[in-house]
Structure 1
Amino acid sequence: MIELIIKKHLEKTLKVPVYLEKEDNMPDSYVIFEKTSGGQKNQINSASFAFQSYAKSMYEAGKLNEELKAVVFKLQWSKEVGGVRLNSDYNFTDVTTKNYRYQAVFDITY
């Protein structure tokens, strides 16, 4: 399952916890990601993933987002991944809860 490959890779490299879904009592800084779409052509899988970097300030969330992007790009050197492309990244602060976060969307071939 590509999600587990990505999660293990992020956990080895990032200094913050990595989750596939929200849990009770989340820490101040963490990354959560989900598969937003997927497909297959000629038995080659591809999917889009949204990675959200949370932190106590907008600056820290942006900084974590930059670290995250560098780590995700390194997935392309993994034997399970064929390609990594950054689709977009942006400030994604939740205005209702005042949770600072950035979101980076990657297209990953595996």
Structure 2
Amino acid sequence: MVEKIVKDYLQSSLGIPVRLEEEDNLGNEYVLIEKTGSGGEDHIKRATLVIQSYSTSLYGAASLNERVKAAMGKIIELDDISRCELNTDYNYTDTARKKYRYQAVYDIVHY
């Protein structure tokens, strides 16, 4: 499951909570990962992952997003990941819950 691979990698790289779903008491900065699409052919799988960076300020969320992008730029070093490409990233502040967040969308090819 590529989500678990990315979760464990980012948790280790960033040193903050990285989860696949929201939990109570995650702290002021954390990252959520969600798979929004997938496919595959000839035993090679593709996935689109959304990585949301949460913080207490817009600047904090943007800074965390940059840290996520730097870490994801090196995820190709893992044996299970053969390609990781940033599709887009943008401010995605949750106005209903008044939480600052940035969102980065990645296209990943994995085994």
* TM-score calculated relative to the size of structure 1: 0.95
**CA offsets 1:12-53 (integer angstroms, 9 cap, x no match):** 110311011011233111000111100002221000000000
Q: Give the aligned residue type for 1:44.
A: I
The aligned runs of 1:5-44 (5 Å cut-off) are 5-44=5-44
- The answer to whether the aligner puts 1:107 opposite 2:97 as a matched pair is no
Structure 1 runs (4+) deviating above 3 angstroms are none
- What RMSD, in angstroms, separates the aligned Cα atoms of the two structures? 0.9
Q: Give the aligned residue type for 2:42.
A: N
Contact 2:17 2:26 in 1 (8 A): no
**CA offsets 1:60-109 (integer angstroms, 9 cap, x no match):** 00000000011112111111101000011000001122100000000000
* TM-score calculated relative to the size of structure 2: 0.95
1:26 and 1:81 mapped to 2: Cα distance?
27
Can you give the 5+ residue segments of structure 2 that lack an aligned partner in the other structure? none
Q: Give the aligned residue type for 1:14.
A: L
Give SS of 1:82's match: strand
The aligned runs of 1:1-110 (5 Å cut-off) are 1-110=1-110
Contact 2:21 2:32 in 1 (8 A): yes
Question: Percent identity of the aligned residues?
Answer: 45
1:35 and 1:72 mapped to 2: Cα distance?
15
* Higher mean C-alpha displacement, 26-35 vs 44-53: 26-35
